[in-house]
Amino acid sequence: MTQTVVSIFVVLVLTVVGCRLPSTKGRQVVLLAASYLFYASWGIGFLSILISSSLMNYTCGWALRRKATAPRLWIGIALNLLPLAFFKYLPVLLDLGPADSWQYELGHQILLPVGMSFWTFQGLSYLFDIYFEEELDPSLLEFCLYMAFWPTVLSGPICRLPSMLPQFRQLSPFSWDDLSAGSLRFFQGVIMKFVLAQILGSGWHPGEGINAGFDQMKGGWGGVDVWLLGIGFGFLLFFDFAGYSQMVIGIARIFGIRVAENFDRPFLSPTPSIFWTRWHMSLSFWIRDYLFNPLAAAGRRYSWWPYVVLIISMTFFGLWHGAKWTFVVYGVYHGLILVMHRLGQQMKRQFSLRPPRNLGAFLSWGATFLLVSVGFIIFRAADLTQVWTMLRAVFTPAAYGHFAMPRSFYILMLTVAVGYFVVTAGHALLLSWRARYREAIGERRETAGAKWPVTVANKFTWIIGALFDFFTARLWWWLAPALSILVFWVGLVIDTKQEAVIAVTPFIYTLF
């Protein structure tokens, strides 16, 4: 524990010093040293694999820049996917053998380097960008920093070199705006992960949360139980992973570096297609740009081919999480949903179906929300047998009279679901009021000396907008001191090795 705290403290000091150095190369060297030190705290062996992958991808990129041919690209793809398959998928296959066999023992000795799925995809995106004639010329130092940048190396977001390289080369002056915005994002992430996700996972009391609900195989589930478990796990996964992403984005922003967004109000998505532009966005866009679009273009003369590619792409999305049948079915399920949505849109245009606007939007959102929640059941279930048992309860009318969970579970699910939508709506309202206030201030400045009309109806909106604008612009007053304390606490609980000491669940996506 002491070593982890010291490592994080040194990493933060190096990052602060590095971001203030006048030399761009010096800054890159210090940031890379901080990133390697941070990653080495998870294991020197893991760091050696990360460095080897960085050198390999840089060499493959150099070869592609000289001559961008398909065989060279495929070699680069294979050199990335083979190590990932060895560490991530081979142990699952070896576990299928007898418990006393050498294969089983070997499978338990192979450990997946933390974050390997994420930085492998970053390396692949670099090769694809060069092959598709993106003008990229990173130095070896810059590329290694891109692969190992410490805020994103564990669980993303998956970054692209075209967006990161200019920031590594540009000296960003200290900005109070960056400190305020970054502190807010970090603080939001801490609340999402260490409060909301923790409560959802464990419940108010042991045995009353989402995890206990999925684990009660003997007692069975009622129809309402299954729906609430699917909805609840969706929120749990969102608060956990989106919370982590918020923290990462906030930390990077504090130091003047902006990384890709990963979530954008996914549970307000009106259609399945829009959902996948708001959920795990860095991975969704990666699959769209480097898998779906090239495959769809290859068979564009066939009208049915894009639907096949949708299912292939989403199956790949599921497999990315691990070699497990539930992940495969999860991907196929969402691929079929996207195909059905496209076919439905075509039928709607063909038959000129136009329900009342508000009713149609509400029904579309409700259907999307429920379909996505069913997908979360498939994703979280232990195996396909549990998936079948839970979904059978959903489609059995008599099951809706059976309630297997304690009363506090239903209260918790209702509170979280309603609270999410209320807070989301309130935040959107505050943003709109702040925009109106800023617009009014701009008009006042343009009409200086003239009478500035202020209606009673707008006074309240402008006052609230002004207060919101004032505090969001000066968050460092009160969030910066809290940040210095929270960052050390996060350093203690982010390490899964401390789970037995501190009763906080590890970040879910560090498992992938």
pLDDT on residue 6:
73
Distance CA 152, CA 432 (A): 31
Tally: H helices and E strands in the chain: 24, 0
Token pair of 438, please? Answer: 């800023």
Q: Is the pLDDT of residue 4 over 70?
A: no
Residue 426 has pLDDT above 90, yes or no: no
Q: What is the pLDDT of residue 428?
A: 79
Q: What is the pLDDT of residue 449?
A: 46
DSSP characters over 154-183: TT-PPP-HHHHHHHHHS-PPP-HHHHHHHH
CB 410 within 8 A of CB 229: no
Q: What is the pLDDT of residue 10?
A: 84
C-alpha distances (whole Å) from 468 to each of 125, 178, 247, 264, 475 are 39, 17, 21, 21, 11
In this predicted structure, what is the pLDDT of residue 75?
97
Beta carbons of 92 and 123 less than 8 angstroms apart: no
Rounded CA gap, 450 and 485, in Å?
49
Task: Quote the CA–CA distance of 466 and 459 in Å, as a whole number.
Answer: 10
Residue 327 has pLDDT above 60, yes or no: yes
pLDDT at 445 over 50: yes
Q: Categorize the per-residue pLDDT at 170 as very low, low, confident or very high, splitting at 50, 70 and 90.
A: confident
Poorest-pLDDT segment among 132-136, 279-283, 325-329, 487-491: 487-491
Q: Are 21 and 30 in contact (CB under 8 A)?
A: yes
> What is the share, in percent, of the chain residues with pLDDT greater than 70?
80
Q: Which CB contacts under 8 angstroms, 24+ apart, belong to 320-323?
A: 320/117, 320/283, 320/512, 321/379, 321/512, 322/88, 322/89, 322/92, 322/512, 323/88, 323/89, 323/92, 323/93
Give residue-wise pLDDT tens across range 450-502.
454 555 556 666 666 666 666 666 655 555 555 555 555 555 554 444 343 33
What 8-state DSSP symbol labels residue 267?
A: G
pLDDT at 415 over 50: yes
pLDDT band for 218, please (50, 70, 90 cuts). Answer: low
So what's the pLDDT on residue 82? 96
pTM of the model: 0.88
Render pLDDT for 180-193 as a digit per residue (tens, 0 to 9): 788 888 888 988 98
Rg of the chain over all Cα atoms, to the nearest angstrom: 25
User: Contacts by 279-288 with C-beta closer than 8 Å and gap 24+?
Assistant: 280/241, 281/157, 282/156, 282/157, 282/158, 282/159, 283/121, 283/156, 283/158, 283/317, 283/320, 284/317, 286/121, 286/125, 286/158, 287/313, 287/316, 287/317, 288/313
Q: Which residue, among 192, 206, 201, 130, has the nearest Cα to 162 in the 3D structure?
A: 130
- Burial (Cβ within 10 Å: 0-12, 13-18, ≥19) of residue 256: middle
Q: What is the pLDDT of residue 502?
A: 38
Question: What is the rounded average pLDDT for all residues in the chain?
Answer: 84
**Over residues 66-82, mean pLDDT:** 95
CA 489 to chain centre: 21
pLDDT for the residue numbered 96: 67
Residue-level pLDDT at 106: 65
The span from the CA of 122 to the CA of 102, in Å, is: 34
Which one has a higher pLDDT value, 107 or 359? 359
Contact 476, 185 (CB under 8 A): no
pLDDT surpassing 50 at residue 163: yes
pLDDT of residue 301: 82
**pLDDT for residue 303:** 85
Lowest mean pLDDT among 158-167, 199-208, 220-229, 336-345: 199-208
Report whether pLDDT(124) > 90. Answer: yes
